[in-house]
Amino acid sequence: MSVIDQIAAAIGADRILTGKDAAPYGKDWTGAYTSTPLAVLRPISTAEVAAIIRIAHATCTPVVPCSGRTGLTGATMADGALMLSVERLNQITQINTTGRTATVGAGVILSNLHDAAAAHGLIFPLTLGARGSAMIGGLLSTNAGGSNVVRYGSTRGLCLGLEVVMADGRVMNLMSALHKDNSGLDLRNLMIGAEGTLGIITAAVLKLLPKPQAYATAMVALPSLADALALLHRLQDETGGGVEAFEYMPRSYMAKHRQMFPDMPPPFAQDHDVNIMIEVAATTARDAQPGPDGQRPVVTLLEDVLGQMLEDGTLLDAVIAQNETQRREIWKRREDAGDVAFFGGHFVNTDIALPLDKIATFEAAVTPRLRAIDPDVEEVMVAHLGDGNIHHTSYVSRNDPAAMAALLEAVEDVVQDLGGSFSAEHGIGLSKLATMKRRKDPVALAAMRAVKAALDPHDILNPGKVIPPA
């Protein structure tokens, strides 16, 4: 029997797509990575995933897990491999309002979890532009970040427990709702961010938090990044860490956004170099309930801080959302970043992290290095300024692979000099393998290879991704 015949006998032929039915799975959101899977498998239970992996292990057949296919690094390329979609593991098994946890399958779409938590007055605070299609399994596998990391942390910090099918088909049950568990090696966190190379995540126990009762959302323009960071720290101090998003959209991003979305009005009457989207959330009635003047205290606090900065010249302009429609418009400008980066021409895209105080230094240092390679290069940046994560895109003047590789290395050089990381939240996949080999500590790479060899000796789980060969 062929591998596909064996799997059909184990889980049913109706779980398997081949040929033209499988073709849509061979393309991700970016369109940059296309492949032809041997077959697409859509199991409906952990037991079926385990059955598939046992057969793959016995036959040394590669398996590439996939979720919503919204990744940006080619991690779901599956030429000649079995593609295992977790989309049908989409049950929200429990919303525990007392323990404030959600038990979910790996195929649960992020926005569906948001809705389920909101029905109980709670939130799962991870949010990003692809929330309507990104699934929990993929978010865990890449340790996704998003716009609220400054307050809530990345996906790893929001996960309490996991269920994982290992490379030989055994199921590792780490489905604990414990906030503390010091019983040996932290295997849960080892699996998170591994992009399916060490095991396939099938379910998780996630943290839920109180739903904010009010938001204060604004676009502001400042003279410098130093002034922006001073505003961030001031707001964090005055709100007790209530800043949920602090997003940097410099002049280059605003111009590119206006070019691609000409119908969307600009936030200010004139252009500025430093533009920041701020959102502060109130979780207490004291800060959320309107006062006699009809104003919510959290909005008043933001207005007062911004007003004082306008007076002392450390703020140039500000627009505060007065209703949910205006709030969503502010958010949309930031959430359009994926379209701005990936559909604006030939480009080199990076996802880097820097210490907060080094971001301005990076901006000043990287431009001359890039222009020495391509004098007509166009730079566009957008950043989660609150956590130091920058998405820097270089639009090249010509589609020259050698020049594009040189531009990428130039960005990496500056990042390394400043003590940063070449990967902040998008994962490694295929696109950063060469960078991993160049930049990652060789002892760390050797340790990664040893872990991979121990847990997946046949190298069947998402082979060729994340860890470069020796």
Stretch 276-289: mean pLDDT: 93
pLDDT above 80 (res 342): no
What tokens were used for 262?
A: 């000409």
Q: What is the pLDDT of residues 142-173, one digit of tens each?
A: 999 988 999 999 999 999 999 999 999 999 99
Residues 240 and 329 in one domain: yes
Taking each helix axis as running N to C, give the angle between helix 359-373 and helix 225-239, from 0 to 180 degrees, rounded to the nearest 10.
Answer: 150
Residues 117 and 75 in one domain: no
Residues 225 and 270 in one domain: yes
Q: Are strands 378-384 and 347-353 parallel, antiparallel or unpaired?
A: unpaired
Strand partners of residue 274 = 222
Which of 51, 85, 119 is at the close of a domain?
85
What confidence score (pLDDT) does residue 29 get? 82
Residues 170 and 260 in one domain: no
What confidence score (pLDDT) does residue 78 get? 93
Q: How far apart (Å, rounded) are the C-alpha atoms in residues 24 and 34?
A: 10
pTM of the model: 0.93
What tokens were used for 230?
A: 């001073």
**The Cα angle at residue 250 between residues 360 and 378, in degrees rounded to 5:** 95
What confidence score (pLDDT) does residue 262 get? 93
Stretch 419-428: mean pLDDT: 95
- Per-residue buried b or exposed e for 68-83, using 16+ beta carbons within 10 Å of the residue's own CB: bbbbbbbbbbbeebbb
Q: How far apart (Å, rounded) are the C-alpha atoms in residues 470 and 462?
A: 17
Q: What is the pLDDT of residues 237-256, one digit of tens each?
A: 999 999 999 999 999 999 99
Q: Is 160 exposed, middle or buried (0-12, 13-18, 19+ CB in 10 A)?
A: buried
Residues 46 and 78 in one domain: yes
What confidence score (pLDDT) does residue 188 get? 98
Q: What is the pLDDT of residues 352-396, one digit of tens each?
A: 999 999 999 999 999 999 999 999 999 999 999 999 999 999 999
Least confident interval from 182-186, 337-341, 365-369: 337-341
Residues 359 and 321 in one domain: no
CA distances from 291 to 40, 46, 211, 242, 296 (A): 57, 52, 20, 20, 6
pLDDT above 80 (res 343): no
CATH number for the domain including 350?
Answer: 3.30.70.2740
What confidence score (pLDDT) does residue 236 get? 95
Q: How far apart (Å, rounded) are the C-alpha atoms in residues 445 and 440?
A: 7
Q: How far apart (Å, rounded) are the C-alpha atoms in residues 386 and 246?
A: 5
Residue 139 sits in which domain range? Answer: 92-210
Helices (H), 46-148: 46-59, 110-118, 136-141
Q: Is 463:196 a contact under the CB 8 Å cutoff? A: no
Residues 218 and 313 in one domain: yes
